[in-house]
Amino acid sequence: MDTISVIIPNFNRANLIGETLENILNQTLPPHEIIVVDDGSTDNIAPVIAKYQDRVIFTKNQRGKGPGGARNTGLDMATGNYIKFFDSDDVMTLNSLEIQLKRLKESNLPIIYSPYVHAAKENGVWKQLDPIVGFDAIVDQTIVDCMVQGFFQPIPTMLIQKDWLLEIGNWREGVIAEDYDLLFRFGQSVPHFAHTNECCTFYRMHGAQSMGTNISNVDRDLEKCDVFWELLTYYKPGVPLYTDKNEAYFRVLWSNTVMALPPDKRKYYRATIGDRIYRLYHRIEQKLGRIATGTQWQPYHGPNNNPSDFEAFTKNLYLNQ
């Protein structure tokens, strides 16, 4: 049988995770199991556990503190043959698990992604804050081609074949950019992912966006630089999908992150003349991409700003709509 394990890291989301769990439990294809991994919450999560303990597996992070360790704890426990990593404050259209599994199997690929949209819920009504991202699939470039130019797709928008995921390896622990690292490894394994825009994830915008709210923006960027540097170090000839142009773009992406830091915090930065030329070229290319889409997103992000599509997705979030 095809079974899906949904893994949810949680940190101080007692006020939001109940809605997330109801959303997953009411999927048209219910998951085989939902595993919530608490990462040291200090809010009152006990009533939530009591309400859902007969339908949801609750456990504590048994590995390194942080979202990577929490997700690895859940992966260690998961018994489904497909994995959906999800966040404790988001929701997805009720057909998401069913559609993604169906389209993934049709594709014969190990991973599929769907659109997501930044939205806020005000007085019980979802409001769109940005275009729907990932509505159109990447067709003329590889995932790595796009990532070295700035592309990123949240892992919670994906359904992943477990055996393949285990071959790729666990989430990195102890860093904030663990999702970027994992997505890059996904892209090095398979050039393209399966895609469907028949479902959507609502990325909820609210006052406490990150599990790591105790880490400053500078510290986040420093850790992201560590991840970029390690990826750049290993991104050499002989690595799948390597090209000279991609390495140049990768250096631009890394150097942009470094240069955004305060001068006393910059790490590893030794810009070559080639880096500076590619950086200028990249800025022009990105400007032209925003003009082409009419949004702040690039064509490889597949943005969609049609209000009717957002409305249709919103109606598929709850049973009573």
Q: What is the mean pLDDT of residues 234-245?
A: 71
Can you give the pLDDT at residue 212? 41
Measured CA to CA, the distance from residue 172 to residue 170 in angstroms comes to 6
Phi, psi of 159 (to 5 degrees): -120, 135
End-to-end CA gap in the chain = 31
pLDDT tens for 39-81 read: 888 888 888 889 998 999 999 887 767 788 999 999 999 999 9
Measured CA to CA, the distance from residue 206 to residue 118 in angstroms comes to 10
Whose CA is closest to 253, among 236, 274, 275?
275
Q: Which of 113-117, 172-176, 184-188 has the lowest mean pLDDT?
A: 172-176
pLDDT tens for 94-129 read: 999 999 999 999 999 999 999 999 999 998 899 999
Phi/psi-derived region of residue 66, left when phi > 0, alpha when psi is between -120 and 50, beta in every other case: left
- Please state whether beta strands 116-122 and 125-128 pair in parallel, antiparallel, or not at all (unpaired): antiparallel
Measured CA to CA, the distance from residue 175 to residue 32 in angstroms comes to 30
Measured CA to CA, the distance from residue 303 to residue 285 in angstroms comes to 17
Can you give the pLDDT at residue 214? 41
Percent of the chain with pLDDT over 70: 94
pLDDT tens for 259-284 read: 888 888 888 777 778 778 888 988 99
